[in-house]
């Protein structure tokens, strides 16, 4: 069984995917973490200067480092570079502000697409992202598209960031999210869209558990 959840940044996709993964005992893959890890490698190796990506060098870097998912202490599938977990390094503002640019590049998307499909071979999986139901698994059994207003998403994201990034304001978070929304939905290759046959859920007036109940109602 493949379940896809797409939607804009901070719409609650990953939280829901985790609940679905626990409920059905299936693997959860946060596909944004793959783009974030590639961006982390690019920044670490100084391959992004003023949002210009040195693509050839980045591809070489991806060929020299192995990106995989493995179970962590709490039994969740999390992303690794050369077998080391990188989760704690990929949620920073600097990565968030560069990841959408990296994700516009066709060669990078093709690399990620191959990885996403390899992970799912012979497995039941819930994967969240931007193009999962439209491009990665267009024939998935269940497809959801989660949306919420920019204001609510910004509040949610700010709460996640404020302990680690003391100076961050909601206004900054809101403008960063708006920028990412524009890049993600207007890019040429696999932009964020509502996938064909996807069930659309607006979470503005719903708690996570209410959205989860709604989703369970559709999954047989
Ligand atoms: O879900 P997230 O905010 O962690 O995703 C980070 C970025 O990765 C997002 O701005 C766009 C990109 N992305 C994508 O283009 N396609 C996906 N399937 C998942 C993420």
List residues bridging with 84 in a β-sheet.
81
What SS3 state is found at 100? Answer: helix
The backbone torsions φ and ψ at residue 47, rounded to the nearest 5 degrees and listed phi first, read -105, 10
Residues framing ligand 1 (Cβ under 6 A): 9, 31-32, 35-36, 99-100, 103, 129-132, 180, 184
- 136: tokens are 């990665």
Among 128, 179, 175, CA closest to 12: 128
CATH 3.40.50.300 is the classification of domain 2-211: yes
User: Do 39 and 102 touch, CB atoms closer than 8 A?
Assistant: yes
User: How do the domains of the chain map onto residue ranges?
Assistant: 2-211
**pTM of the model as a whole:** 0.94
Q: What pLDDT does residue 22 have?
A: 96
CA-to-CA distance for 172 and 170, rounded, in angstroms?
Answer: 5
pLDDT of residue 163: 87
Q: Point out the ligand 1 atom lying closest to the alpha carbon of residue 9.
A: 3
Atom of ligand 1 nearest to the CA of 91: 4
Closest CA to 94 of 141, 40, 23: 40
The protein residue whose alpha carbon is closest to atom 16 in ligand 1 is: 130
10's tokens: 């901070």
Question: What is the number of other CB atoms lying within 10 angstroms of the CB of residue 177?
Answer: 21
Q: Of all atoms in ligand 1, which is nearest to the CA of residue 103?
A: 15
Ligand 1 centroid to Cα of residue 205, in Å, is 24
The pair of structure tokens assigned to 154 is: 């910004």
Going residue by residue through the chain (220 aa), what tens digit of pLDDT does each one get? 999 999 999 999 999 999 999 999 999 999 999 999 999 999 999 999 888 999 999 999 999 999 999 999 998 999 999 999 999 999 998 998 899 999 999 999 999 999 999 999 999 999 999 999 999 999 999 999 999 999 999 999 999 888 888 888 999 999 999 998 999 999 999 999 999 999 999 999 999 999 999 999 999 7
For residue 105, give Cα distances in angstroms to 81, 90, 101, 143. Answer: 21, 19, 7, 25
φ, ψ (nearest 5 deg) of residue 52: -90, 125
- What local confidence, expressed as pLDDT, does residue 165 receive? 83
């Amino acid at each position: 069984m493949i379940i896809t959840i797409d939607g804009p940044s901070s719409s609650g996709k990953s939280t829901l995917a985790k609940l679905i993964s626990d409920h059905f005992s299936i693997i959860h893959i946060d596909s944004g973490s793959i783009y974030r890890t590639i961006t982390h490698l690019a920044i670490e190796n100084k391959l992004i200067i003023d949002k210009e990506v040195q693509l050839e060098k980045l591809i070489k870097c991806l060929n020299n480092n192995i990106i995989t998912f493995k179970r962590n202490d709490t039994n969740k599938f999390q992303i690794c570079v050369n077998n080391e977990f990188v989760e704690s390094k990929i949620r920073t503002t600097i990565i968030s502000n560069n990841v959408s640019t990296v994700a516009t590049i066709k060669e990078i998307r093709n690399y990620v697409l191959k990885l996403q499909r390899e992970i799912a071979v012979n497995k039941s999986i819930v994967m969240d992202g931007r193009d999962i139901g439209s491009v990665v698994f267009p024939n998935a059994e269940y497809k959801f598209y989660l949306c919420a207003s920019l204001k609510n998403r910004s509040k949610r994201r700010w709460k996640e960031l404020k302990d680690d990034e003391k100076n961050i304001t909601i206004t900054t978070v809101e403008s960063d999210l708006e920028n990412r929304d524009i890049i993600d939905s207007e890019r040429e290759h696999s932009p964020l869209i509502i996938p064909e046959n996807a069930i659309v859920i607006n979470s503005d007036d719903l708690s996570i558990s209410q959205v989860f109940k709604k989703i369970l109602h559709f999954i047989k």
